[in-house]
Amino acid sequence: MTMQRREWMQVLAGAALATPLTAAGKPADWPQWRGVNRDGKSPETGLLKSWPEKGPAVAWHVKDLGSGYGSMSVVGNRVFLQGGTKPKSVVHCLDRATGQKVWTIDLGRYRDQNRGDGPRGTPTVEGDKFYALSEDGDLICANAEKGAEVWRKNILKEFNGSNPGWLISESPLIDGQNLIVTPGGPDASIAALDKTTGATKWTSKGVSDRAGYASCIAVNVGNVRVILALTSKAGMRHHLPRGQHLRLFECNLDVHGFQHGRCEVDRPRRRQGLHHVRRRTFLCAGRKAHHGFD
């Protein structure tokens, strides 16, 4: 979806939120960016195998959600999504069955940018709370039912980070008691906050990369829990039990990631137990992309 998705959102009966079911026969939840496990996989069944000639019937549509990028989270009978109209960046809550607005809460300052205006994230919902991060670094924890604020802070100010050229583009990650974000500050490229209070639990000491345009994921490598992140300079792995940080590969996203139609990202290679990289350059011309190795 592009930023224009915020201006109106249409739901197709039988194709999106209205009727898909899990194997247990219950409406499926999609509580955060890319689903339950951030892997893009859904347990939903009962979707249409083919569409009618004129398409599925429209269950509902809603306008005036503002501009922005990102997706929506769906939990129970509620839909959560971010949007913005000057001067405010906000989170909307809609009724899943009707599309009616239940509440709207302010996140912070609305930002515009020549590649698209407004927020770039998706709210993360857990239990009776949700978490959202604005394009200007404003992070909020609020009650999911009524939209009442629990705590908030600006991660750029808190950790002395700087907003990247295309603005903060991240959906907060919850892993246990930790809320993971990438403020991109000195010794705080990655930071974990207590999801209940917002207090800082740990930061990436020794790693000060600016934020990239990505959201973290949590995975188990063998029996070890790790956080994976993409900063402006590298793909990172944070080893939770030891607090260690490892660069998996180098990249260059510091200047928007693109230079005169070229996007440079390094490809990992493995030799003698270490990760080495070769730079891969993508040349963008119109709708075509060509690549090669230096």
Do residue 294 and residue 157 come from a single domain?
no
Do residue 9 and residue 126 come from a single domain?
yes
Do residue 129 and residue 147 come from a single domain?
yes
Do residue 234 and residue 284 come from a single domain?
no
Q: Which long-range contacts (CB under 8 A, 24 or more apart) does 243-252 make?
A: 243/202, 243/205, 245/190, 245/204, 245/205, 245/206, 245/207, 247/275, 248/275, 249/275, 249/277, 250/277, 251/212
Do residue 71 and residue 160 come from a single domain?
yes
What tokens were used for 34?
């890319």
Give the whole-angstrom CA distance, residue 36 versus residue 124. Answer: 10
Do residue 276 and residue 211 come from a single domain?
no
Do residue 183 and residue 223 come from a single domain?
yes
Would you write out the chain's pLDDT as a tens digit for each of its 294 residues?
Answer: 444 444 567 765 544 444 455 555 567 899 999 999 999 998 888 888 898 998 888 999 999 999 998 899 999 999 999 999 899 999 999 999 999 999 999 999 999 888 889 999 999 999 999 999 999 999 999 999 999 999 999 999 999 999 998 999 999 999 999 999 999 999 999 999 999 999 999 999 988 999 999 999 999 888 888 898 888 887 877 776 566 676 666 666 554 444 444 444 444 444 444 343 333 333 333 333 333 333
CATH code: domain of residue 72:
2.40.128.630
Q: What are the Cα distances from residue 107, in Å, to 197, 245, 251?
A: 17, 31, 31
> So what's the pLDDT on residue 247?
66
Do residue 271 and residue 192 come from a single domain?
no
Do residue 97 and residue 232 come from a single domain?
yes
The DSSP symbol for 67 reads B
Helix (H) or strand (E) holding 156: helix 155-158
Domain count for the chain, please give it. Answer: 2
Give the whole-angstrom CA distance, residue 108 versus residue 100. Answer: 23
Give the whole-angstrom CA distance, residue 42 versus residue 261. Answer: 35
pTM: 0.80
Q: Is 243 exposed, middle or buried (0-12, 13-18, 19+ CB in 10 A)?
A: exposed
Residue found under tokens 């912070």: 108
> So what's the pLDDT on residue 115?
81
Do residue 164 and residue 279 come from a single domain?
no
Do residue 228 and residue 288 come from a single domain?
no
Query: Residue 294: which domain range?
Result: 257-294
Do residue 167 and residue 177 come from a single domain?
yes
> So what's the pLDDT on residue 8?
60
> So what's the pLDDT on residue 257?
43
